[in-house]
């Protein structure tokens, strides 16, 4: 947890220093963001069979961009519902989790001559940390971890200089669910894997 906080703080400081000379011409925007998530679990035990489950996300996004070069970053504060379902020994387990998520994305927008004000593709990547707001223990065998850290990879397009529609893949780096108790079950855990499709309108 401490190491991941250091990564986020270091990333913000590095970005601030890198773009400091261009602050006078930089573009800062803010707006609502919402979308759908498709979540699955990556277990450390092959006896589990997980299913993809759909959830949702909504919140606020800010964006900082250096004009002409199109390099910058975005930072969001999102409410996220991640739903999960997995099968073990013919028994299904469902786990619906609510998070407050803070993703920080490095962003690179591509300029296309003549059409950049109409459509502009972009790539993103960066860390994300989510704090559990729903219950920790959801049955007698497993419990949700209090926070979840991931690294996101994404792409999308900006339409008419305001609407951004994108998709990203989140690669979980910490355990999201862990078994309760001792014995064989004590070593069972899983990490999040999820797709997010979202739209943001920036002013």
Min mean pLDDT across 37-41, 80-84, 188-192 is at 188-192
User: So what's the pLDDT on residue 45?
Assistant: 61
| Average pLDDT of span 53-63 | 96
Q: What is the mean pLDDT of residues 14-22?
A: 50
Q: What is the mean pLDDT of the chain?
A: 83
Give this prediction's pTM: 0.82
pLDDT at residue 129 greater than cutoff 80: yes
The top-scoring range by mean pLDDT among 19-23, 84-88, 124-128, 180-184 is: 124-128
What distance lies between CA 56 and its chain's CA centroid? 12
Q: What are the tens digits of pLDDT across the range 155-165? A: 999 999 999 99
The pLDDT of residue 50 is above 50: yes
Whether residue 23 has pLDDT greater than 70: no
pLDDT more than 90, % of the chain: 52
Beta strands in the chain (DSSP E): 27-43, 49-51, 53-66, 71-88, 91-109, 119-132, 142-144, 147-159, 163-172, 177-179, 189-201
Residue 175 has pLDDT above 80, yes or no: yes
Domain ranges of the chain: 2-201
Confidence band for 67, pLDDT divided at 50, 70 and 90: confident
What pLDDT does 22 receive?
A: 47
Residue 79 pLDDT level (bands cut at 50, 70, 90): very high
Q: Which CATH architecture has domain 2-201?
A: Beta Barrel (2.40)
pLDDT value at residue 76: 97
Q: How far is CA 50 from CA 2, 32, 46, 65, 132, in A?
A: 30, 32, 10, 39, 21
Beta partners for residue 146, in sequence order: none
The predicted model gives 25-39 an average pLDDT of 91
């Amino acid at each position: 947890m401490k190491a991941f906080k250091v990564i986020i703080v270091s990333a913000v400081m590095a970005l601030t220093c890198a773009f400091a000379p261009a602050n006078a011409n930089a573009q800062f925007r803010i707006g609502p963001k919402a979308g759908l998530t498709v979540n699955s679990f990556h277990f450390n035990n092959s006896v589990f069979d997980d299913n993809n489950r759909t959830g949702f996300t909504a919140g606020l996004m800010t964006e900082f961009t250096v004009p002409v070069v199109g390099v910058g970053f975005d930072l969001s504060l999102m409410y996220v519902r991640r739903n999960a379902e997995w099968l073990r020994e013919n028994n299904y387990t469902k786990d619906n989790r609510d998070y407050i998520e803070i993703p920080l994305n490095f962003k690179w927008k591509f300029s296309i001559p003549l059409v950049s004000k109409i459509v502009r593709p972009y790539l993103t990547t960066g860390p994300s940390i989510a704090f559990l707001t729903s219950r920790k223990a959801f049955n007698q065998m497993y419990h949700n971890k209090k926070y979840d850290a991931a690294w996101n990879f994404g792409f999308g397009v900006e339409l008419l200089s305001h609407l951004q529609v994108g998709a990203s893949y989140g690669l979980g780096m910490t355990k999201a669910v862990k078994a309760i108790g001792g014995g064989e079950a004590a070593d069972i855990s899983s990490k999040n894997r999820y797709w997010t499709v979202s739209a943001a309108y920036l002013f």
